[in-house]
């Protein structure tokens, strides 16, 4: 949302003011921002609407908007009125940008691959798997298997490599002490 507003700022707007506009937009939408292990909490749609209108008027007085800004503002207010920028459950760890990124991925799949339902199902599984691995791999405490994959989403290949590794380690241990010993 903020990017749409920022794209309509006058070219002569100083970068410091651009950053302030972005922060005001964010403050209009969020009650609290994400932090160290904490979830973002959204304002109600009514509060978002009031805050967004105040933000737009504040910067209108400072003459940073172009003619297109008014149309963008009207469109974004419609999204807010429809409840598109609020979280129905504050305890769910998700936000608009994560959901929007997922939707972009699904749209890319549908546009890029002309296929039947079976192929789309397989592509969808792959899409979700890659996304989940990326999230887990980049988390503070990725599980052991994901760590061993080094972030790849070719799990069958990684699994076969790990099985082969265990076999080779077992053969080496067998040669050393005469009995089969896996790590």
Distance CA 133, CA 71 (A): 39
Domains identified in the chain, total number: 2
Tokens standing for residue 58: 């504040």
> For position 155, what pLDDT does the model report?
73
Is residue 14 domain-shared with residue 42, that is, in the same domain? yes
Question: What range defines the domain where residue 55 resides?
Answer: 2-90
Q: Which of 68, 90, 112 is the last residue of a domain?
A: 90
The end-to-end CA distance of the chain, in Å, is 52
Over the stretch 73-127, which tens digit does the pLDDT of each residue have?
999 999 888 887 776 655 555 555 556 667 777 888 888 877 788 888 888 888 8
Is residue 80 domain-shared with residue 154, that is, in the same domain? no
Is residue 164 domain-shared with residue 112, that is, in the same domain? yes
Model pTM score: 0.52
Give the sign of the dihedral formed by CA 39, CA 40, CA 46, CA 47.
Answer: positive
**Is the pLDDT higher at 132 or at 8?**
8
Over the stretch 132-176, which tens digit does the pLDDT of each residue have?
777 777 778 887 777 777 666 677 777 778 788 888 877 665 556
Is residue 60 domain-shared with residue 16, that is, in the same domain? yes
* Lowest mean pLDDT across 11-20, 53-62, 64-73, 139-148: 139-148
Of residues 129, 159, 160, the one with CA closest to residue 144: 159
Is residue 83 domain-shared with residue 113, that is, in the same domain? no
Is residue 82 domain-shared with residue 138, that is, in the same domain? no
Q: Is residue 37 part of a domain?
A: yes
Q: Which of 47, 70, 90 is the last residue of a domain?
A: 90
């Amino acid at each position: 949302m903020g990017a749409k507003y920022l794209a309509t700022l006058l070219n002569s707007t100083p970068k410091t003011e651009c950053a302030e506009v972005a922060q005001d937009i964010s403050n209009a939408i969020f009650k609290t921002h994400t932090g160290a292990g904490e979830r973002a909490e959204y304002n109600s749609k009514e509060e978002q609407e009031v805050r967004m209108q105040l933000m737009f008027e504040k910067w209108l007085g400072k003459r940073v908007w172009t003619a297109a800004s008014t149309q963008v503002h009207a469109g974004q207010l419609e999204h807010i009125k429809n409840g598109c920028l609020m979280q129905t459950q504050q305890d769910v760890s998700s936000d608009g940008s994560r959901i929007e990124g997922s939707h972009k991925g699904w749209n890319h799949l549908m546009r890029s691959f002309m296929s039947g339902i079976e192929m789309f199902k397989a592509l969808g599984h792959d899409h979700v798997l890659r996304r989940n691995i990326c999230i887990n791999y980049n988390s503070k405490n990725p599980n052991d298997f994901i760590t061993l994959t080094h972030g790849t989403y070719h799990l069958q290949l990684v699994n076969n490599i790990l099985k082969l590794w265990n076999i080779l380690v077992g053969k080496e241990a067998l040669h050393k002490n005469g009995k089969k010993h896996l790590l």
